[in-house]
Structure 1
Amino acid sequence: MLNKSSRAPGGQKLCSSSAENKLGRAVPRIPFSRPGAAVLGSRSLPAVEGGKQFSRRPSSLTRPVSAAATAQQQGTNRRRAALQEARMSKDLQAAGSLRTQLTNLFRQAINKAYPDLTDEPVVAACNNAKFGDYQCNNAMQLFAKLKGKEGAPKAPRDVANALVANLPPNELLSETSLAGPGFINIRLSNEFLSKRVSEILRLGLQPPYSPDLSSKKCVVDFSSPNVAKEMHVGHLRSTIIGDTICRTLELCGAQVLRLNHIGDWGTQFGMLIQHMSELSPSADGSASGDESISDLMELYRAAKKRFDDDEGFKQRAREAVTALQSGDEKSLKMWRAICAASRKEFAAIYERLGVKVEERGESFYNPMLKGVVEELKEKGCAELSDGAICVFVEGQSIPLIVQKSDGGFGYASTDMAALKHRLEVEKADWIIYVTDAGQAQHFDLVFSAAKKAGWIGTPESKAKIDHVGFGLVLGEDGKKFKTRSGDVVRLVELLDEAKARCTATIRARSEETGETVDEASLDHAASAMGYGAVKYADLKSHRMTNYKFSFDSMLDLKGNTAVYLLYAHARIAGIARKADKDIDALAASTPVVVAHQKEVDLALHLSRFPEAMEDMLQELAPNRLTDYLYELSERFNAFYTDCKVLGSEEEGSRLQLVEATARIMRQCFSLLGLIPLYRI
């Protein structure tokens, strides 16, 4: 498992005055491959028996309303040509994050100054800009290793001076300074930052200018609702956290399989099928029987009550499970009809959220379960215990039960089969499971059992596996979010409410300003703001924390909300629109010059976007992106307040800063699953 913390221990500041500095510890990061490595394109996901791939086609309403569509396409063509040229030129030296480039420079310095040492540089952004942009914190640990050797430096500051003296020639640094016992403060050159902003406009944010992952084939298991049950607020977190992880991996050049491991098999189907059969004895599960399953949730509740209260029904339900698992055609037809009805409801939710998934439910792995258990037994990993087949894992108080005492299979069996399939058939080198934190022990058992079986953790199988847990959604009273009647809150109701509130807000604003808005534009804006607000409020909290669901907070026009950021983007887009200039042509002919301190601050933050993606993938925490996005809007506001754009002598350069901000905001929106608005 990855180290999930990139902050120095003890909450220390990584960049401060000499009196405040303490030794920081190196934190391992995701290995990113060298700039210019081959990038795999997205593949078309195969159809799955009994499954369906849901996708959301981009609406024309998501595009800016502009009469310059031809110029926009020409700009796209220019960026493609520039990127192709850059791949064969020295521009590749600027590929990768600033942190990565600085790490490479200090790695060379360490190798040259102290060839016998193999320590990795520890480079981090400064929390306090007055001390520098970045800091290298290796001097103390290197001094400790050199101490006592012939010709060893006398103090950590001597080590720091040696590293600075051995830095290779480069265009990144404008100055370095020492603080405390040997911290190296680093200031980047304005010329380099100017170039980075130009590259954002000329080359875009695709690899190699976004992080290029060493993992190229990724499987992300997320969302995973249960058939015959409605998606509720708990499914929101898994769905949007998983979607953001997928989007970020895809931007970084990975081939991502977005799997929706729905609960479409098990004893609950015998219960439901038996109940439906007794309600309507003529029902055969054909398409014409849709009326009998129009309200699956109510049917499920009624069937569950009968199952709990009526021993006779319970026995008949168990016999129905046996018939289903034995391939009884009538039972299979009803099962397919139930799944189809649920799938239709799921698809509508995914459409509204802009999430695409490939369904691969528990039933897909059913034929594999017996073989998986036999393999575990043959390898000596599984043993009989109280009639059940179990895998015992060192350090765990409970075993992983892969076959129950009655011969049946449960979630553990399915998850083991799914993991094996993803490793051996899908050939994944990174598998990510996104579920609530309460399932952490279960997945720890599954991963440990897989390691015991030799599926992972061997020289032949170096795939990474992560469980991405998340906390609860709470009501404003601080308790688990439920309706007044105590039921779980339906996700569709939340989305409806968010959109309705945004619709009312936009109408009221339109009436106040006297502007007219057509219904199509109103619906588009309300959907973008409402659904975006729900998503962003969830994603901006660290996934492991519980957060309070509040419409008033998430729809606030001030502060760190999607609504505020969408308005901010619309205002920024309006600046470029008012200038009425081809920004791509401007970027090709006019250099960016950052001189004013607010220009420097904005250019530095724009250049740090790849680091936000690196941090998100390191911690698998989308709030790293939301934090970056909100700070970008704050940096832009400070720049726009102090630096006149339109009509200034620096208009050409500053318009490019404006456009670069807008493009990175849109990229952040895309990663978070938000739809940008150009006019509100």
Structure 2
Amino acid sequence: MTIHQLINERVQAALAAAGAPAAPAVIQPASKPDFGDYQANGVMGAAKALKTNPRALAEKVVAALDLAGIADKVEIAGPGFINIHLAPEYLARRSEAALKDDKLGLAPLKPQRVMVEYSSPNLAKEMHVGHLRSSIIGDALARVMEYLGHEVVRANHVGDWGTQFGMLTAYLVETSQDGNAALELSDLETFYRNAKIRFDESEEFADRARDYVVKLQGGDQEVLRLWRQFVEISLEHCQAVYDKLNVNLKREHVRGESSYNDDLPVIVKELRAAGLLTESEGAQVVFLEEFRTQEDQPMGVIIQKKDGGYLYTTTDLGAVRYRHKTLGLDRVIYVVDARQSQHFAQMFSICRKAGFAPEEMKLEHVGFGVMMGDDGKPFKTRSGGTVKLIELLQEAEERAYALVAEKNPDLPEAEKREIAAAVGIGAVRYADLSKNRMSDYIFSWDTMLAFEGNTAPYLQYAYTRVQSVFRKAEDYDANARVVITEPAEKQLAAALVQFEDTLLSVADSCYPHYLSQYLYQIATLFSRFYEACPILKSEGEVRASRLQLAALTAKTLKTGLDLLGIKVLEAM
């Protein structure tokens, strides 16, 4: 049981004993050391519900509260807040247990089968900065849930079907003698752009492109062969981006829109059988009473167009149906731009009504804001074009390399490159993961590569700083007892043992910035501890204990940064 869970359970029991069994305990870490380590803030609400004096109720709760061996002081503050000061001995034992455990003292949980769908680029053109946030946020969530013990299914639901591929195939046939042109990755973006120009300018070409879509969906072998060329080249490019960005997506995680093509007529049939479909202007539509138009009419969701074609919603319905019936998932998390919130809300509603997903199967849209440039507008190149993701990552490494070369010019070239890759890519990832995902944020090279403040380089340096202590320490007893006597020791230990609570909060809420904030707090508290409590100059059990706290700090930072997809270095 985590500390938060333990305190919550005990305060809940004390509230019940004090006559407020239904009141939540409202436990949270204390905002200041003067207020203890945890605060129980549920008395105020309970007193209001019972129409009694909150201070008097708080006194009853404290009298009934059993925190023997856990807290050494419990006090009432203000009108009825309860401040809980954890016992140093208790923190010491929890710290020792975390150090000895490969997973830092995490308790086993009841595992769920969880899918995280993320990145999901449209193929046939290069990945750009618009794919960055989904890839980074989704990857961090998948890592955290896997570490906690859930069975995680990664899903890259790529756009590999539809009109754009008819357009590309038509253009390939038109510009190539044998329809088997050797497609270079660098040519693919230009190829797509030229095909789009033809599509927009020529109605005859557009009709031909649509004809190829029909052939593609109908299983025409020659069109399928050409389609596979585009898909293969695009996926090779995506994999190069994922590898550089340290994103755990592989080819086996790709299941594109095309995978559900054969199932789309079945979706229409089942929706009709469920009485959900209405024909409207020749199209097959589901009208949802809970979503209203400006005219206060039920909003319609098109499932099949009047020409027989299908939309993204139809494919997404097929995916949910497959994920329930075939994969047996407990929870599906869609990491997609917040602007798609209505699409997902409507799609989830249809799934429930049609029985594609039972109520116990959790469907969640994890939205996120936009990455902005210095001008406060969506991030673009100086000429106003889309920034290719691979080029952004290459620039991150080059900028980090310049910093490393300036600070440590005598390092071997290979070591400079290794540090630059870890710092540059780590900076890009952390700049995203340190922000509330629902917020838009300004992309700034200077801010993200700074060695001060809440940045990846600062945290990476904090880790190397701890490691330098052990390089200087000639002897280290990994089994030494932890003894906490100083305030800086206690504050650091109290934060270190909150690691599990932090991860559970990330997994429950899907907000990775909770972990980023936590790691920054750990690095800051270690810095204070390092200044206030000399490690190597101390002696005996004090020195051994402080080395243990330093070891737990390093282990926590390394594990936490890895869960964010950020590499640590033994020296910088």
Report how many residues are paired. 561
Shift of 1:165: 2.2
Amino acid at match of 1:520: A
Alignment partner for residue 563 of structure 1, among 446, 457, 462? 457
**SS of residue paired to 1:295:** helix
CA distance in structure 1 between the aligned counterparts of 2:67 and 2:185, rounded to whole angstroms: 71
Partner of 1:602: 492
CA distance in structure 1 between the aligned counterparts of 2:379 and 2:277, rounded to whole angstroms: 40
CA distance in structure 2 between the aligned counterparts of 1:449 and 1:627, rounded to whole angstroms: 37
CA distance in structure 2 between the aligned counterparts of 1:492 and 1:250, rounded to whole angstroms: 27
Is 1:182 aligned with 2:80? yes
Is 1:520 aligned with 2:414? yes
Q: Would you say the 8 A contact 1:225–1:231 is kept in 2? A: yes
Is 1:541 aligned with 2:435? yes
- Output aligned runs, 1:325-344, within 5 Å: 325-344=217-236
CA distance in structure 1 between the aligned counterparts of 2:185 and 2:221, rounded to whole angstroms: 18
Alignment partner for residue 215 of structure 2, among 323, 341, 349? 323
Shift of 1:182: 2.1
Structure 1 residues 560 and 140: alpha-carbon distance in aligned structure 2, compared to 1, 3 A threshold: closer
**SS of residue paired to 1:219:** strand
Q: Would you say the 8 A contact 1:221–1:434 is kept in 2? A: yes
**SS of residue paired to 2:290:** coil
CA distance in structure 2 between the aligned counterparts of 1:442 and 1:401, rounded to whole angstroms: 11
CA distance in structure 1 between the aligned counterparts of 2:524 and 2:46, rounded to whole angstroms: 38
Structure 1 residues 294 and 636: alpha-carbon distance in aligned structure 2, compared to 1, 3 A threshold: closer
Amino acid at match of 1:103: N
Partner of 1:673: 565
Listed one character per residue, the Cα deviations across residues 255-307 of structure 1 (whole Å, up to 9, x for unaligned) are: 011100100000110110110111113124xxxx4346652111111111001
Partner of 1:356: 248
Amino acid at match of 2:239: A
Partner of 1:383: 278
Listed one character per residue, the Cα deviations across residues 162-198 of structure 1 (whole Å, up to 9, x for unaligned) are: 2222223532111111123322111111111111111
Alignment partner for residue 347 of structure 1, among 239, 243, 250? 239
Q: Would you say the 8 A contact 1:215–1:430 is kept in 2? A: no
**SS of residue paired to 1:250:** helix
Partner of 1:101: 6
Listed one character per residue, the Cα deviations across residues 557-591 of structure 1 (whole Å, up to 9, x for unaligned) are: 21111112111211111101211334xxx242x21
Partner of 2:97: 199
Is 1:425 aligned with 2:321? no
CA distance in structure 2 between the aligned counterparts of 1:359 and 1:486, rounded to whole angstroms: 31
CA distance in structure 2 between the aligned counterparts of 1:508 and 1:309, rounded to whole angstroms: 52
Shift of 1:470: 0.8
CA distance in structure 1 between the aligned counterparts of 2:106 and 2:121, rounded to whole angstroms: 33
Is 1:219 aligned with 2:115? yes
Listed one character per residue, the Cα deviations across residues 71-95 of structure 1 (whole Å, up to 9, x for unaligned) are: xxxxxxxxxxxxxxxxxxxxxxxx3
Partner of 1:373: 268
- Output aligned runs, 1:646-665, within 5 Å: 646-649=536-539, 650-665=542-557
CA distance in structure 1 between the aligned counterparts of 2:400 and 2:47, rounded to whole angstroms: 59
Partner of 1:628: 518
Structure 1 residues 647 and 181: alpha-carbon distance in aligned structure 2, compared to 1, 3 A threshold: closer
CA distance in structure 2 between the aligned counterparts of 1:169 and 1:322, rounded to whole angstroms: 69
Shift of 1:211: 6.5
Name the stretch that deviates more: 472-481 or 387-396: 387-396
Gaps of 5+ in 1: 1-94, 148-153
User: Runs in 1 of length 4+ with deviation above 6 angstroms?
Assistant: none
Alpha-carbon RMSD across the aligned residues, in angstroms, is 1.8
Alignment partner for residue 126 of structure 2, among 221, 225, 230? 230
Q: Would you say the 8 A contact 1:392–1:400 is kept in 2? A: yes
CA distance in structure 1 between the aligned counterparts of 2:72 and 2:515, rounded to whole angstroms: 28
Is 1:453 aligned with 2:351? no
Partner of 2:314: 413
CA distance in structure 2 between the aligned counterparts of 1:402 and 1:474, rounded to whole angstroms: 34
- Output aligned runs, 1:564-583, within 5 Å: 564-582=458-476
Q: Would you say the 8 A contact 2:185–2:234 is kept in 1? A: no
Q: Would you say the 8 A contact 1:502–1:526 is kept in 2? A: yes
Listed one character per residue, the Cα deviations across residues 283-335 of structure 1 (whole Å, up to 9, x for unaligned) are: 24xxxx43466521111111110010011111111111111111111111111
Shift of 1:599: 0.5
CA distance in structure 1 between the aligned counterparts of 2:240 and 2:356, rounded to whole angstroms: 37
Listed one character per residue, the Cα deviations across residues 219-267 of structure 1 (whole Å, up to 9, x for unaligned) are: 1110011111111111110000000000110111100111001000001
Amino acid at match of 2:93: K
- When normalised by structure 2's length, the TM-score is 0.94
Shift of 1:346: 0.5
**SS of residue paired to 1:109:** helix
Q: Would you say the 8 A contact 2:111–2:149 is kept in 1? A: no
CA distance in structure 1 between the aligned counterparts of 2:135 and 2:69, rounded to whole angstroms: 43
Structure 1 residues 400 and 221: alpha-carbon distance in aligned structure 2, compared to 1, 3 A threshold: same
Partner of 1:83: none
CA distance in structure 2 between the aligned counterparts of 1:169 and 1:317, rounded to whole angstroms: 72
CA distance in structure 2 between the aligned counterparts of 1:214 and 1:385, rounded to whole angstroms: 46
- Output aligned runs, 1:118-197, within 5 Å: 118-147=22-51, 155-168=53-66, 170-197=68-95
Listed one character per residue, the Cα deviations across residues 348-402 of structure 1 (whole Å, up to 9, x for unaligned) are: 0111111122111101111111111211111112222221111222232332211
CA distance in structure 2 between the aligned counterparts of 1:496 and 1:375, rounded to whole angstroms: 48
Alignment partner for residue 641 of structure 1, among 531, 537, 557? 531
Shift of 1:623: 1.1
CA distance in structure 1 between the aligned counterparts of 2:50 and 2:376, rounded to whole angstroms: 54
**SS of residue paired to 2:170:** helix
Structure 1 residues 465 and 581: alpha-carbon distance in aligned structure 2, compared to 1, 3 A threshold: farther
Partner of 2:483: 593
Partner of 1:304: 196
CA distance in structure 2 between the aligned counterparts of 1:304 and 1:419, rounded to whole angstroms: 31
Amino acid at match of 1:435: V
Once the two structures are aligned, what percentage of the paired residues are identical?
A: 41
**SS of residue paired to 2:328:** coil
Structure 1 residues 121 and 249: alpha-carbon distance in aligned structure 2, compared to 1, 3 A threshold: same
Amino acid at match of 1:669: L
Shift of 1:420: 1.4
Partner of 1:611: 501
CA distance in structure 2 between the aligned counterparts of 1:272 and 1:229, rounded to whole angstroms: 11
Shift of 1:128: 2.3
Is 1:437 aligned with 2:327? no
CA distance in structure 2 between the aligned counterparts of 1:213 and 1:435, rounded to whole angstroms: 28
Shift of 1:478: 1.2
CA distance in structure 1 between the aligned counterparts of 2:308 and 2:56, rounded to whole angstroms: 69
**SS of residue paired to 2:408:** helix
Listed one character per residue, the Cα deviations across residues 469-524 of structure 1 (whole Å, up to 9, x for unaligned) are: 1111111111111112221111111111111111122122223xxx3x22322221
Shift of 1:145: 4.5
**SS of residue paired to 2:182:** helix
Shift of 1:407: 1.0
Q: Would you say the 8 A contact 2:422–2:566 is kept in 1? A: yes
Q: Would you say the 8 A contact 1:294–1:341 is kept in 2? A: no
Listed one character per residue, the Cα deviations across residues 518-554 of structure 1 (whole Å, up to 9, x for unaligned) are: 2322221110001001111111111111111111111
Q: Would you say the 8 A contact 2:317–2:356 is kept in 1? A: no
- Output aligned runs, 1:60-139, within 5 Å: 95-96=1-2, 98-114=3-19, 117-139=21-43
Listed one character per residue, the Cα deviations across residues 59-80 of structure 1 (whole Å, up to 9, x for unaligned) are: xxxxxxxxxxxxxxxxxxxxxx
Alignment partner for residue 172 of structure 2, among 270, 273, 276? 276
Is 1:399 aligned with 2:300? yes
**SS of residue paired to 2:339:** helix
